[in-house]
């Protein structure tokens, strides 16, 4: 059995580790697949890399048909600040690319589509309680979250019209060893702190990234995607994926410093941080996917640091 994954980044490779371990064939469809990164994450030659852009529907169809993919995991797209830099380009990649994925599923008879959305779809300008469940209103007024909300609505329409299985995951800020090409400033912040502490240099963190936020470690995210790929179609099909609590920036720094006591950093002036105040309700993922996080912040950072060290050793 084969799963095609759009995007060979942190979430896609974290899922692929789980899938390869149970004997699944993985095909990455990515405009600039980093073979060294994929090989480090999975082991040499354990995935097929296809150079392609989700804006190119014929190429996407050809890849699905050539490799006989029965499931697509859709992670590809621009993230965060890269969307704000050019909403027009992000519209083409994020929304147009998602339309092409849905068309490919329809035309090729793919059984299941797992779409990676974001907790950024929620309109947190509205009053919230202590937690946010999957019924909370979508559309937060910024390019990234609004395009993600539009992608969800588009895919819901396609699935209802054409009868394929659709599951959508809304992760908190995913952190883990990656390359962050798509624009995850939150993920890049975490890696900057670890690498600075490891190298004995000062990390430079933008003021916007000092917000309190909810996180989920990449290995936990990979497990969640794998469950979404493999479980019988559940009654609920949209799931929050997070740690279930908001972590202040000071606690992030303290967690890294427990591993690397020499950690030093400075906050660069700029945009004021916009902290999260409500955490994700992850009870639906527990009930319907059988998933819950295995890593708290300390355990996630310990595993993350070991992976950075392993990556450096592999390049030595």
The CATH code of the domain that includes 14 is: 3.40.50.720
The burial class, CB within 10 Å (0-12 / 13-18 / 19+), for 252 is buried
| Per-residue pLDDT, 55 | 97
| CA 117 distance to own-chain centroid | 8
Q: Structural domain of residue 87, as residue ranges?
A: 2-175+215-244+278-294
- Are 4 and 66 in contact, with CB atoms under 8 Å apart? no
Q: Is residue 190 in some structural domain?
A: no
**Count: domains in the chain:** 1
Q: Is residue 316 in some structural domain?
A: no
| Per-residue pLDDT, 10 | 95
Q: Which two tokens stand for residue 38?
A: 């994929």
Q: Is residue 45 in some structural domain?
A: yes
Q: Would you put residue 7 in left (φ > 0), alpha (ψ -120 to 50) or beta?
A: left
Q: Is residue 203 in some structural domain?
A: no
Q: Is residue 311 in some structural domain?
A: no
| CA 17 distance to own-chain centroid | 14
What is the reported pTM?
A: 0.95
Return d(Cα 187, Cα 177) in angstroms, integer.
Answer: 8
Q: Is residue 304 in some structural domain?
A: no
- Are 242 and 215 in contact, with CB atoms under 8 Å apart? yes
Q: Phi and psi (nearest 5°) for 198?
A: -70, -35
Q: Which DSSP symbol is given to 123?
A: -
Q: Is residue 170 in some structural domain?
A: yes
| Per-residue pLDDT, 181 | 63
| Per-residue pLDDT, 196 | 95
- Residues with pLDDT less than 50, the chain: 183
Return d(Cα 64, Cα 95) in angstroms, integer.
Answer: 20
**Pairing, β 173-175 against β 238-241:** unpaired
Q: Is residue 152 in some structural domain?
A: yes
In the block, residue with structure tokens 């539009």: 150
- Are 187 and 250 in contact, with CB atoms under 8 Å apart? no
Whole-angstrom CA distances from 118 to 44, 46, 149, 196 are 30, 28, 9, 28
């Amino acid at each position: 059995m084969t799963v095609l994954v759009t995007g060979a980044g942190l979430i896609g490779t974290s899922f692929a580790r789980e899938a390869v371990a149970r004997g699944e064939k993985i095909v990455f469809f990515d405009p600039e697949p980093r073979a060294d990164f994929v090989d480090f994450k999975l082991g040499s030659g354990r995935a097929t890399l296809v150079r392609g852009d989700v804006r190119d529907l014929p190429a996407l169809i050809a890849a699905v048909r050539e490799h006989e993919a029965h499931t697509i995991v859709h992670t590809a797209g621009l993230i965060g600040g890269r969307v704000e830099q050019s909403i027009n380009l992000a519209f083409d990649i994020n929304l147009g690319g998602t339309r092409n994925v849905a068309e490919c599923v329809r035309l090729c008879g793919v059984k299941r589509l797992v779409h990676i959305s974001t907790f950024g779809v929620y309109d947190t300008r509205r009053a919230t309680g202590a937690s946010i469940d999957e019924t909370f209103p979508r559309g937060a007024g910024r390019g990234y979250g609004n395009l993600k909300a539009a992608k969800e609505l588009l895919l819901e329409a396609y699935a209802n019209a054409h009868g394929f299985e659709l599951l959508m995951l809304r992760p908190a800020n995913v952190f883990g060893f990656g390359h962050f090409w798509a624009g995850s400033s939150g993920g890049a912040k975490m890696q900057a702190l670890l690498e600075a502490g490891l190298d004995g240099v000062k990390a430079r963190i933008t003021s916007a990234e000092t917000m309190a936020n909810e996180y989920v470690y990449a290995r936990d995210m990979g497990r969640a995607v794998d469950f979404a790929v493999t479980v019988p179609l559940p009654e609920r099909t949209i799931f929050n994926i997070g740690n279930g609590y908001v972590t202040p920036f000071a606690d992030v720094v303290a967690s890294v410093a427990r591993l690397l006591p020499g950690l030093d950093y400075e906050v660069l002036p700029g945009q004021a941080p916009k902290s999260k105040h409500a955490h994700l309700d992850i009870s639906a993922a527990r009930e319907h996917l059988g998933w819950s996080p295995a890593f708290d912040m300390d355990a996630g950072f310990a595993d993350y640091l070991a992976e950075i060290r392993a990556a450096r050793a592999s390049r030595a």
